Amino acid sequence: MFLGIDVGTGGTRAVVIDREGRVVASQASEHAAISSPEIGWAEQEPEDWWRAAQEAIRGALAAADGAKIEAIGLTGQMHGCVMLDEQGEVLRPALIWCDQRTQPQCDWLTETIGFERLIELTANPALPNFTLTKLLWVREHEPEIFAKIRHVLCPKDYVRFRMTGEYAMDMQEASGTLLLDVAHRRWSSEMAEATGIPMAWLPRLFEGPEICARIDDAGAAATGLAAGTPVAAGAGDQGAGAVGMGILKPGTVSATIGTSGVVFAATDSPTMDRLGRMHTFCHAAPGLWHVMGVTNGAGLSLRYFRDTFAPESSYDALTALAAKVPAGSDGLFWTPYLFGERTPHLDAQARAAFVGITASHTRGHFVRAVLEGVAFSLRDTLTLFAELGIPVGEIRLGGGGARGPLWRQVQADVYGQPVKLLEAEEGGAFGAALLAGTGVGAWPSVEAACAATVRIAETIQPVDAAVMEVAYKEYRKIYPALREIGRA
């Protein structure tokens, strides 16, 4: 049996799977709400992730009823910056992936290094989501903390550190720091030198399935896992999620709606957009790369709508109202830029909007417009892929947004082609467990692991593609029309 641990944004999930890819046990534990002391800031306490990880692991082990865990894989929300001192003590709350405060640091990086040179060195432009920009903000605003930093980790790597005492990171996660030479799969000494970040702060790098650590005595006492159990490097949530969905060959892509939304495609070599509108990262499978377009506020849009306007309702109750509304929401649109936007606008200041409201629109219309607006935003990445010649044959759906039937149908309609749902819903944690199993030789490769365990459960055909094609063209007009409104 293999254990996958996903240190997500909302909570941590631990999943135990067997060699056939059956989920034997799954347990989640919620995190405290994101702290946002100022508009656009987003912070979490690494100690809270570790508390949630212990609870989730203990719960999953109890549910797995004494199953022997042969290896553990880690995944989690990407890009978050965890800063540790010489003793491995956390120096301040982590600045997480959706924190938007670092646009000035991005501007500085772009001016100092140059937009094209940044893409040459790291395959990506400077975006506020990326770890390096968060470190530079701390250097500028909290020099006393910066002076004490000796180690920098991402969220799941901090949980690994607490379980094993090792400072380690996988290539896929490291790609989202802006400190990796993505094309050559090594830390970029040029980036470290240009920004003054000591290379000694960066953890050792491993490929996703590589065993990089073992549970130590303290980790065993905290989690109930056996000391000595091997721990694979794993991958960021999108990287491990793609493994869990079998996204390994050009042509098969995934569309995942978690808090963020991601359209992900595997590539045989690093494929870059010279305008930087999508990310180019190392794949969790050795020897592969991937591209992905990201919508910052995808599942977040529905969650925000529910929490703000219908706190008494469940997602299912809201989507049941939306199901009564025709495709196209009778001309009501939603642009999901609650945390600015990455693909395709690269605009940290973009704002979300409902557009086209009339007195006839009901709550159901608003919910349907949210589901459609998020799908339009993911379609923007498919449009970009088409522009860059990245093939899209089959689309597989993942994330919490694929849980409800209406959002699945809306996606088929907006993408204008059939979409597939997979048997295992655990996405990232499932993929992390497959990486762990590969690391200890249960399967000879990540490809073999996916072939043995990833199964399609259902195919959803589009029914309203023509209506949504027209609506998508209208949606594309909204961002340029509203762009300058409310800008500081």
Ligand X SMILES: Nc1ncnc2c1ncn2[C@@H]1O[C@H](COP(=O)(O)OP(=O)(O)O)[C@@H](O)[C@H]1O
Task: Provide the binding-site residues for ligand 5SP, judged by CB under 6 A.
Answer: 8-9, 77-79, 97, 129, 176, 236-238, 258-260, 262, 294
Q: Which of 2, 289, 315, 333 binds ligand X (CB under 6 A)?
A: 315
Q: How far apart are CA 239 and CA 101, in angstroms?
A: 25
Note whether 9 binds ligand X by CB under 6 A: yes
Q: Write down the least CB distance from residue 6 to ligand 5SP, Å.
A: 8
Per CB under 6 A, does 133 bind ligand X?
no
Q: Toward ligand X, which CB reaches closer, 4 or 258?
A: 258
Q: Is 246 in the site for ligand X (CB under 6 A)?
A: no
Given candidates 296, 319, 329, 381, which one binds ligand X under the rule CB under 6 A? 319
- Identify what 207 binds: ligand 5SP, ligand X, none; CB under 5 to 8 Å per kind: none
- Write down the least CB distance from residue 255 to ligand 5SP, Å: 13
Spot the catalytic one: 6, 170, 181, 237: 237
Binding of residue 373 to ligand X (CB under 6 A)? no
- Pick what 97 binds: ligand 5SP, ligand X, none; C-beta below 5 to 8 Å, kind-dependent: ligand 5SP
Residue 303 interaction partner, one of ligand X, ligand 5SP, none, beta carbon < 5-8 Å per kind: ligand X
CB 445, min distance to ligand X, A: 27
Residue from 1, 5, 10, 430 binding ligand X (CB under 6 A)? 10
Q: How far apart are CA 349 and CA 347, in angstroms?
A: 5
Q: Does 316 bind ligand X (CB under 6 A)?
A: yes
Taking CB under 6 A as the binding criterion, the range among 195-203, 253-261, 288-296, 347-355 that sits at the site for ligand X is 253-261
Is residue 79 annotated as involved in ligand binding?
Answer: yes
Say which residue the tokens 């490769």 belong to. Answer: 445
Least spacing, CB of residue 301 vs ligand X, in Å = 7
Task: Give the interface segment with ligand X, choosing from 40-48, 106-114, 311-319, 327-335 (CB under 6 A).
Answer: 311-319
Of 367 and 446, the one with the shorter C-beta distance to ligand X is 367
Q: How far apart are CA 52 and CA 48, in angstroms?
A: 6
Nearest CA among 170, 177, 172 for reference residue 232: 170
Binding characters for ligand X, 254-273, by CB under 6 A (x = yes): ---xxx--------------
SS (H, E, C) the chain: CEEEEEECCCEEEEEEECCCCCEEEEEEEECCCCECCCCCCCEECHHHHHHHHHHHHHHHHHHCCCCCCCEEEEEECCCCEEEECCCCCECCCEECCCCCCCHHHHHHHHHHHCHHHHHHHHCCCCCCCCHHHHHHHHHHHCHHHHCCCCEEECHHHHHHHHHHCCCEEEHHHHHCCCCEECCCCEECHHHHHHHCCCHHHCCEEECCCCEEEECCHHHHHHHCCCCCCEEECCCCHHHHHHHHCCCCCCEEEEEEECCCEEEEEEECCCCCCCCCCCEEEECCCCCCEEEEEEECCCHHHHHHHHHHHCCCCCHHHHHHHHHCCCCCHHHCEEECCECEECCCCCECCCCCEEECCCCCCCHHHHHHHHHHHHHHHHHHHHHHHHHHCCCEEEEEEECHHHCCHHHHHHHHHHHCCCEEEECCCCHHHHHHHHHHHHHCCCCCCHHHHHHHHCCEEEEECCCCHHHHHHHHHHHHHHHHHHCCCCCC
What values do phi and psi take at 162, rounded to 5? -70, -30
Q: Do the bridges between strand 289-295 and strand 261-267 make them parallel or antiparallel, or are there none, so unpaired?
A: antiparallel
Give which of 415, 432, 385 is closest to 250, Cα–Cα: 385
236 vs 340, which CB is nearer to ligand 5SP?
A: 236
Q: Total number of residues binding ligand X (CB under 6 A)? A: 19
Q: Is 117 in the site for ligand X (CB under 6 A)?
A: no
CB of 256 to ligand 5SP, least distance (A): 8
Q: Is 237 a catalytic residue?
A: yes
Within 275-304, which residues bind ligand X (CB under 6 A)?
Answer: 299-300, 302-303
Of the ranges 66-74, 111-119, 330-338, 402-410, which one interacts with ligand X (CB under 6 A)? 402-410
CB of 96 to ligand 5SP, least distance (A): 8
Looking at 4, 8, 261, 293, which residue binds ligand X (CB under 6 A)? 8
CB of 8 to ligand X, least distance (A): 4
Residue ranges in 181-200 that form contacts with ligand X under rule CB under 6 A: none
- Interacting residues with ligand X (CB under 6 A): 8-10, 257-259, 299-300, 302-303, 315-316, 319, 399-401, 403-404, 407
Residues serving a catalytic function are: 237
| Residue list for the binding site | 78-79
| Residue list for the binding site for substrate | 78-79
